[in-house]
Amino acid sequence: MDAFGRLREEIRAHPGNAAFTAAGWEPIFTASAAARILVVGQAPGRRAQESAIPWDDASGARLFDWLGVSEAEFRDPERFAMLPMDFYYPGRGTGGDLPPRPGFAARWHPPLLALMPRIRLTLLIGRYAHQHYLPELRRSTLTAIVRDWRSHLPGVVPLVHPSPLNFRWQARNPWFVDELVPELRQAVAAQLGRDASPS
């Protein structure tokens, strides 16, 4: 078992994850020492948890399009690592899925990232990822953080969640698709060693 496998076993065995392990759920993340791009999301949805495949839904399809990559490229662990803020589906609340558990990313992201020295581009998707990795902007709105994406280049790009439910936000912020997405595709392509996909 390699270092990633040992960490996966530690996550399964941690008392805080006992209920998920007892239910037969796997921690949902992808990691490899060769990965160049890190995708930090919120937490797996129910479908992703059941299939054990990150971004296994309509949000994933939209994310592939934003990045200008095929699903096969996205799922290649030597290209993309995926560390959500919680590796387990948190359950359903009154207004949608519950948020990631506090402290989960702080506990498990550092040892995993220490095994991935080739990461050169980090995509922070959604408010929880922004708050954790850009704590100095905790008081800023999601829109303000994403609108100022150029200030975080070349190593980080903050993004809104690609959920179809965010269509109103995208309609109010056409600059996201017109300006940010083309630059995002270029940044991703540069790390993958190829030309950016056309818009």
Return the pLDDT at 125: 97
Q: For the chain, list the domains and their CATH numbers.
A: 3-13+26-192 (3.40.470.10)
Q: Is the pLDDT of residue 112 over 90?
A: yes
Confidence of residue 199 (pLDDT cuts 50, 70, 90): very low
Q: Can you give the chain as a three-state secondary structure string?
A: CCHHHHHHHHHHHCHHHHHHHHCCCCCCCECCCCCCEEEECCCCCHHHHHHCCCCCCHHHHHHHHHHCCCHHHHCCCCCEEECCCCCCCCCEECCEECCCCCCHHHHHHHHHHCCCCCCCEEEEECHHHHHHHCHHHCCCCHHHHHHCHHHHCCCEEEECCCCHHHHHHHHHCCHHHHHHHHHHHHHHHHHHCCCCCCC
Return the pLDDT at 197: 57
User: Which residue, 49, 59, 41, 55, is CA-closest to 92?
Assistant: 49
pLDDT digits (tens, 9 = 90+) for 30-48: 999 999 999 999 999 888 8
CA 79/CA 191 separation, integer angstroms: 8
Question: Cα 128 vs. chain centroid, distance in angstroms?
Answer: 10
Evaluate if pTM is beyond 0.85. Answer: yes
Which whole number is the average pLDDT over 59-85? 96
Return the pLDDT at 73: 96
Whether residue 40 contacts residue 133, with contact meaning beta carbons closer than 8 Å, is answered with yes
Return the pLDDT at 19: 95
